[in-house]
Amino acid sequence: MMDNFLQLMLVCTSMFLQGYAQALITNCSRFACEYSLIEKMINLQNENTKLSERLTALQLLLEGRQTAVSAHVRLSGNTPLSGSARVMYDVEISNIGEAYKFNSGQFTAPFGGVYLLHVTACLGSGGRWMTLNIMDNDKVIGRVFVGDSAYHTCGSETLSLHLDSGDNVWVERVAGSATWLNEDHGWNSFTATLLYAD
């Protein structure tokens, strides 16, 4: 920013000196030369003010620009899940901002802000059921129930909430007679998108 200001000052000084030299060469009267120089100085001052306003507006725009964060991941196939195991999604559909960490099976918020989360879980047929918790730093923030007496079924949960920078969100099994997530008739997926950064 300082470099831009120095360049602007050099340009203004150069233009001023060029105008002064031109006035001396033309042998104008003292009044005409002074009037011409004052007029050029006022024009340069107005131009400097406009450039300064544009620079300030661009800086505010750059500072206020929201960084994109969006992860959409899913399971690659039927996946065993028992006890209180964490769902380890292994297929990246998108991971803008690299906030979803596959090695730990969790989404880490890179910025504080309002996030939209969506979780879908699917089971095969056979009269089984499962409940999954959506966790935020060991606190339950949402729950997905899935089950049916005879058919393949999917359940989902969508929530909007504020996350602080560094908050970790993951999905874990909490209860149920089913011990497999089924990928045959739907996708077991997790989505997190930054809607508005602090």
In words, the CATH class of domain 70-197 is: mainly beta
Is residue 155 packed enough to be buried (19+ CB in 10 Å), middle (13-18) or exposed (0-12)? Answer: buried
d(CA 162, CA 72): 19
- The residue behind tokens 């699917």 is 122
Of the two residues 11 and 148, the one the predictor is more confident about is 148
Range with lowest mean pLDDT among 8-22, 33-47, 155-169, 173-187: 8-22
What is the predicted pLDDT for the residue at 186?
85
- SS3 helix, strand, coil % of the chain, rounded to 5? 30, 40, 30
Of the two residues 181 and 9, the one the predictor is more confident about is 181
181, pLDDT greater than 60: yes
What is the predicted pLDDT for the residue at 169?
97
Q: Which of 93, 103, 89, 119 lies closest to 192, judged by CA?
A: 119
- E-only strand ranges, the chain: 70-74, 79-80, 91-96, 100-101, 106-108, 113-123, 129-136, 139-147, 153-163, 168-176, 180-181, 189-197
Confidence of residue 90 (pLDDT cuts 50, 70, 90): very high
26, pLDDT greater than 70: no
Residues of the chain with pLDDT > 90, as a percent, come to 52
* Three-class DSSP category at 30: helix
Q: Are 188 and 75 in contact (CB under 8 A)?
A: yes
pLDDT, tens digit (0-9, with 9 covering 90-100), for 32-68: 777 777 888 888 888 888 888 788 777 766 665 557 8
Determine the average pLDDT of the residues in 169-189: 92
Q: Which of 38, 75, 16, 73 lies closest to 191, judged by CA?
A: 73
136, pLDDT greater than 70: yes
Confidence of residue 69 (pLDDT cuts 50, 70, 90): very high
143, pLDDT greater than 80: yes
Domain ranges of the chain: 2-64, 70-197
Confidence of residue 14 (pLDDT cuts 50, 70, 90): low
4, pLDDT greater than 80: no
Q: Which of 110, 197, 119, 113 lies closest to 159, judged by CA?
A: 119
Confidence of residue 144 (pLDDT cuts 50, 70, 90): very high
Of the two residues 17 and 194, the one the predictor is more confident about is 194
CB atoms within 10 A of CB 54: 10
d(CA 111, CA 114): 9
CB atoms within 10 A of CB 195: 12
Q: Vertex 77, ends 72 and 79: CA angle to 5°?
A: 100
75, pLDDT greater than 70: yes
Model confidence, pTM: 0.67
